Structure 1
């Protein structure tokens, strides 16, 4: 197999020059008990990947990156009897053991075992199937999708129909689960609600198109980049503007989704939330970055702030919902794809993402 391995964290920018990610040949063991072998068809380049590269999310390395992907099942490990060979599957970046308190929370809190495995750079249950000249290579979020093939836990995938193209299916497993889930599972706005999304990257734009798809009449995109504001309008937003413009106009919203992953963005999202409204934060800032919130406004105005990891989703339940919304023509997932690239362009793709110029760059494999 061939994959993109992160060799160093916190390398100098631009990454196209320092090249912390190296595309190389690797050894991949066959699937063990409860695991499957997947041939990767498409993988999205997400900010969670960049957060490992720049050191905001420290992980063990060398690590084969990538967590948002779709592919074809090519081999089944012992104990897996519910997937046919040739099945297209969506990868999800938090496997669920199905037994812990997190798994019993209906998506509200993450799986404890899956979170521990992700931190350690293993598959669910502690195994590693990747190596290089006999030395182990760590898995990224139980997937490691920037590669031609991946061995993953059966609990890290959800099957989809063959009518869902690979580049669409890939985005259902992270961007839509996270951004869409903030709408469907947490904010739950009605058609007459006023909704704003702060931070129009892939996840934020997924929240926006999900709100539009579910019939919310007034959805506003908030960002600092004109190109992203234009994209929000193309994807169905009633309006798009900077947070300063929105605050200057006195705009207030029933639900505000914060997807920028920055303390100032969270502060703006809270300020844009009207009395009685809800602020949902799905962005992941660097550890230790404080935000300033007036607690009196929360109490006196009956407002709430809710954190949502992976969109508070149960992937096997939620992914079919997004697939069906896409089939019906209501969910404009295609609009999230800003570029299609080969695996060898991964360092340049990180620079593009770091500059805030991408929604989702999709790596395709021939």
Structure 2
């Protein structure tokens, strides 16, 4: 089948819109009509050469969409389901997966097509690598079953798309990495998409004080809407002065 996609062919050059070929789903694959996709800074880093990987490729890894077709062995989703995609694919068979830790999957290659197989994506007969095994800057995505998660149909797909990367990264940083405790104090430096998600994670965890620090006043206003209890403006001309001293004063000596 044909679909329009943003194709990346060379570091430093703009992506171009091309009509590419997408193969039919294999038994464990899902075809998704892409409804929305965020532009993660990882996509930008890749385009600038800060992250290296095989090219040509179709970037994009923060999408949501609607299932259009499923392979014969797929049982987690069906046609018409709304889904988000994620980069944490798993084989479901290795030791880590069988112990309930699919995020530590030891054989994610099982989620890809084998060398010599017909590629999922191609352009003029040449294989296109799937960025993050997703390639969401395309009208349709052909991915492994474990790359999609079913969501309620009443969730706006443009908002749901962010969950696959920014939200899970930020909320996970608060709940799993920092393990924010109820009643604790938290500082979040930089409140872009991930920083905002960290704030939400800290709020969910029950943090008493959530201090957002950024150089952009408008971002701090947004941070308040998502749960920041205090804000500090950084920079040499900030009315808050030295952010470290201001942070210590606000938190009574330092955050937890």
**Gapped regions of structure 1 (runs ≥ 5):** 12-18, 118-122, 255-271, 278-366
Shift of 1:125: 4.6
Shift of 1:189: 1.9
Task: Establish whether residue 191 from structure 1 lines up as the match of residue 185 from structure 2.
Answer: no
Q: Residue 136 of structure 2 corresponds to which residue in structure 1?
A: 145
* Residues 1:273 and 1:39: Cα distance change in structure 2 (over 3 Å): farther
Q: Residue 50 of structure 2 corresponds to which residue in structure 1?
A: 56
Q: Give the secondary structure class of the aligned counterpart of 1:159.
A: strand
TM-score of the aligned structures, taking structure 2 as reference length: 0.85
Q: Give the secondary structure class of the aligned counterpart of 2:112.
A: coil
Q: Residue 5 of structure 1 corresponds to which residue in structure 2?
A: 7
Q: Give the secondary structure class of the aligned counterpart of 1:167.
A: helix
The answer to whether the 8 A contact 2:76-2:145 is kept is no
Instruction: Give aligned pairs, total.
Output: 244
* Residues 1:251 and 1:112: Cα distance change in structure 2 (over 3 Å): farther
* Residues 1:20 and 1:75: Cα distance change in structure 2 (over 3 Å): same
**Gapped regions of structure 2 (runs ≥ 5):** 236-241
Q: Residue 285 of structure 1 corresponds to which residue in structure 2?
A: none
**Structure 2 Cα separation of the partners of residues 102 and 198 of structure 1:** 33
Q: Residue 280 of structure 1 corresponds to which residue in structure 2?
A: none
**Structure 1 Cα separation of the partners of residues 94 and 254 of structure 2:** 34
**Structure 1 Cα separation of the partners of residues 69 and 102 of structure 2:** 32
Shift of 1:253: 10
TM-score of the aligned structures, taking structure 1 as reference length: 0.61
* Residues 1:107 and 1:179: Cα distance change in structure 2 (over 3 Å): farther
Task: Establish whether residue 247 from structure 1 lines up as the match of residue 244 from structure 2.
Answer: yes
Q: Deviations over 1:204-235 (max 9, x none)?
A: 21111222244322111122222222221232
Shift of 1:108: 9.4
Shift of 1:48: 1.4
Aligned pair partner of 1:157 in 125, 148, 171 = 148
**Structure 2 Cα separation of the partners of residues 50 and 106 of structure 1:** 33
The answer to whether the 8 A contact 1:29-1:130 is kept is yes
**Higher gyration radius (CA):** 2
